[in-house]
Structure 1
Amino acid sequence: MSTTADVDNAVTYSWSNGRTWRSLDRQSRITFLNGVEEGLMLMRREAELPGSVPLPTLQKQSERLMISGFRFSDIVEQIDAFYADSSNRRIPIVDAYIYALRKMKGESEDTLRQLTASLRQRYNR
């Protein structure tokens, strides 16, 4: 049975974090990431409506948040590795997702270390 403390620890600033991620089975993790990508696609479609954010701007941002040539299971493995370090567990899943994409796109280890340190400082209060 979950306690209020368990639920409170599973979110950081209303965002699901590593504790939530680690409670999900592999298929649920893949489904979670599919939902993130579907949300990005929904945003792109809505941007095509009159009066919306200029589409090229939104396309550039959404491309930064997506990666081709990989499966969701590949991203799951990267996020799993990120949360294997208990110091990262309070970091929201969306930030771990961005970290994983940057790593998969070839960011340098030094840049990734700086990003991790910044995220820890922000969320591990």
Structure 2
Amino acid sequence: MGVVSGQDAVIRTLLYTQAKQLVSPYRLTVAEFTNRISARRNFLRAGCGNKDEGIILPNQTLGAENRMTSNILSANFNSGSYARTTAENLRILYGGNESVPGGFFPRGANGNIAKRFLNNGTAMPIA
């Protein structure tokens, strides 16, 4: 996960430098886009709470140690990474249900763990 976190930090840093720019044709700023993406990811995790945040927080009470609104790495109060289960990650990737392919993986992911979720759900396993 360290490599993924590093990649995430680079991308979020680049987005942060452009936070106030409008994204055409949507008339939303980069910061507003990141907030909407984070809100969608939180929604797809279905009742697992806030584990994703945009690059600029609406107030300091959500920021690290309740002191900041900038948010290069989405983290909890103690600046630690949010814990996510395999099921939560698959819900994001599949679009809402860890046992039914869709979203980024319309035919399902092909790893052993993902296949176990497919086998326990309503979807057919990948051949």
TM-score (norm 2): 0.33
TM-score (norm 1): 0.33
Q: As a proportion of its length, which structure holds more helix?
A: 1
Q: Which has the higher contact order (CA 8 A, sep 6+)?
A: 1
Higher Rg of the two aligned structures: 2
